Structure 1
Amino acid sequence: MSVVKIDDSGRETLTDKKINSHISNEKFENRLFVRLIVKDKNFEKVSFKYTNFESSYLRGCKFDSCDFTGCKFVGTNFSGAKFIGCKFDYTIFEKTIIDNDILDNCCPSQENLKLKFARTLRVNFQQLGDSDSVNKAIKVELDATKEHLHKAWHSNESYYRQKYKNIKRIEMFFYWLNFSFWDFTWGNGEDILKLVRSVFIFFILMGLFDIVINQNQYLTSNSFDFIWQMPVKIPAIFFATLSSPNYPLWYTTLVFFVRLVFFSLFTSVILKRLNRR
């Protein structure tokens, strides 16, 4: 049996420190900063790889082209801090005050890393009760997830073709198809306008079906009168305030089922919004 050798990581712990000057082209890698204090200082091309920040205060600082790969921020205050062209691959945020502008200019380029980045920020903003930032992070996360699923089965990039082969590639296609369907239907629970659009599309389908069922009336009577009645008639049938003996049982059952689904989705969207406040 082989002996497993576990070496010390060499992480240096720095507690109750303060930085009083601008810093550029330095390395603060694999360190643990506890209650670090920095205010209104500039950091340019500084590497913080695999460094943890706990209960630190970095207010009003400017980070330009810094590397935060593998970092973890816990209870850290970045109020007023600016991040320009920084790298945040595999970074974790917990109960950290930070502006949501970071989602605009510092997201990782790869979609799988981008969605993880947006997800950790979403959870972080939820911990702080910042509903607007949560919504913004969710949008970035959903967009990145959709693109990631699409590339998983369609892209010829070496990363995706090595990770998703054969059956796994087919599975990712169906994952993408399911995700895209619900994204179109109701924005995966985040876009009430898409849900309203889906209801109107269903109304149009109901109108076409009504024309097929009552085609004799359309041919023998003034068809324009029937068309002008559609905007009132179709919603009335959908909400069960009007019934027609011409409709088959399977159709009325389908409308009833779809109505329940749309009501459930609408309720879910409203509750999600309220729970973030």
Structure 2
Amino acid sequence: MKDDQSLGADAQSVDPDVKSADGDDLPVALLKGNRLELKDRYIALDVADSKELALKIYVRLTAKMIRFKNVSFQHCVFDSCYLNKCVFDSCDFTGSRFVACNLHQSSFSGCNFEYVTFERCHIDDDILESEAPSRENLKMRFARSLRMNFQQVGDARAVNRAIRLELEATSVYLKKSWSSSETYFSKKYPGWKRLPQFLKWIEFKILDAVWGNGESTFKLLRAIVVTHVVIAIYSTVAFADPWDIRSYLSNLASAPGVFFGIENPYAYPVWISGLVSACRLLSFAFLTAILVKRFGRR
């Protein structure tokens, strides 16, 4: 098989207006692929150390309690397949696509899921931790594909798990994009292109600290508590005795009234009152967004 460069050179050397000689009246630049479509097949025996199953389109393939060991499924399409209680050990699914498949209780160990996509598949969510690609960019796309898949089948718990993995991979990827000296990041983000990545990382970390990028009620409540503490410290320093611990406690007790706009024990400047109001409105908006997202997945 030719590599990408040789294929690209051949494609540039032909005239796209020239018709092929096989009678299908297509341009010569459109070559027939080497994928074989197999419909309504049943796998009855265990398969090991095989590359013959790669580059196939499987439609309604059936297998139950079958063990696949060191089998290549590269660039395959699994459409409406039933693979129940199967074991996939050290299999290669690079570039494959699963559509409307039932993989219930099937297990995966040491498999390669780079560039794999899932759509409307029933699959156990433990694949997120055990089989995620090692590279952060691929792990991020892998988790995103499974997140969308779990949303389609209505598995709310698995959606939350996929989102956590996606956020973790995104955080590491953004940090490496501006700080890592690895060849991949050096070539993709050379020189000044690392500055936008640094700003994206800063934004991501701030939003993560405030409300977990829309996924953590605890972090949002923590941010609200920190806001109350800041209000108490400012009130004590600006209007009371900063050397008296009782002033801090008293102002901390009155901070909820200030935060929710119920009372103002001191004559706060307009910009301080406006900042507190903005924090209050943002907190309500973030909390509403989290609740809508959580209940919307069910």
Check whether TM > 0.5.
Answer: yes
User: 1:43–1:66: 8 Å Cα contact kept in structure 2?
Assistant: yes
- Which moved further from structure 2: 164-173 or 1-10? 1-10
Which SS does the other structure have where 1:103 is aligned? helix
1:97 corresponds to: 122
Query: Of 265, 273, 278, which aligns to 1:257?
Result: 278
Note the 1:198-237 alignment, pairs <5 A. 198-216=223-241, 223-237=244-258
Whole-Å Cα distance in 1 between the matches of residues 264 and 142 of structure 2?
51
User: 2:232–2:255: 8 Å Cα contact kept in structure 1?
Assistant: yes
CA RMSD of the aligned region, Å? 1.4
- Which moved further from structure 2: 239-248 or 191-200? 239-248
1:85-121 Cα shifts (integer Å, max 9, x gaps): 1110000100010000000110001000000000000
1:50-69 Cα shifts (integer Å, max 9, x gaps): 00000100000000110000
Unaligned runs of 5+ in 1: none
CA offset at residue 246 of structure 1? 2.6
User: 1:114–1:144: 8 Å Cα contact kept in structure 2?
Assistant: yes
Percent same amino acid among aligned pairs?
Answer: 38
CA offset at residue 9 of structure 1? 1.5
1:147 corresponds to: 172
Whole-Å Cα distance in 2 between the matches of residues 192 and 134 of structure 1?
16
Whole-Å Cα distance in 2 between the matches of residues 228 and 201 of structure 1?
14
User: 2:257–2:263: 8 Å Cα contact kept in structure 1?
Assistant: yes
2:5 corresponds to: none
1:19 corresponds to: 43
Whole-Å Cα distance in 1 between the matches of residues 120 and 271 of structure 2?
52
User: 1:213–1:246: 8 Å Cα contact kept in structure 2?
Assistant: no
- Which moved further from structure 2: 1-10 or 251-260? 1-10
Whole-Å Cα distance in 1 between the matches of residues 154 and 41 of structure 2?
29
2:73 corresponds to: 48
Note the 1:1-277 alignment, pairs <5 A. 2-4=14-16, 5-27=29-51, 28-216=53-241, 223-277=244-298
- Which moved further from structure 2: 228-237 or 257-266? 228-237
Whole-Å Cα distance in 1 between the matches of residues 136 and 188 of structure 2?
14
Whole-Å Cα distance in 2 between the matches of residues 110 and 70 of structure 1?
15
Structure 2: which amino acid aligns with 1:248?
P
User: 1:38–1:59: 8 Å Cα contact kept in structure 2?
Assistant: yes
Normalising by the residue count of structure 1, what TM-score does the alignment of the two structures yield? 0.95
CA offset at residue 232 of structure 1? 2.3
Structure 1: which amino acid aligns with 2:31?
D
Normalising by the residue count of structure 2, what TM-score does the alignment of the two structures yield? 0.89
Choose between structure 1 and 2 for higher RCO, CA contacts under 8 A separated by at least 6 residues: 1
CA offset at residue 6 of structure 1? 2.7
Whole-Å Cα distance in 1 between the matches of residues 169 and 84 of structure 2?
29
Whole-Å Cα distance in 2 between the matches of residues 224 and 179 of structure 1?
36
1:3-49 Cα shifts (integer Å, max 9, x gaps): 24232111001100000111110111110000000000100000000
User: 2:239–2:266: 8 Å Cα contact kept in structure 1?
Assistant: no
Which SS does the other structure have where 2:31 is aligned? coil
Whole-Å Cα distance in 2 between the matches of residues 131 and 13 of structure 1?
34
Structure 2: which amino acid aligns with 1:16?
D
Whole-Å Cα distance in 2 between the matches of residues 168 and 2 of structure 1?
37
Whole-Å Cα distance in 1 between the matches of residues 155 and 107 of structure 2?
19
User: 1:213–1:247: 8 Å Cα contact kept in structure 2?
Assistant: no
Structure 2: which amino acid aligns with 1:199?
I
User: 2:233–2:248: 8 Å Cα contact kept in structure 1?
Assistant: no
Which SS does the other structure have where 1:19 is aligned? coil
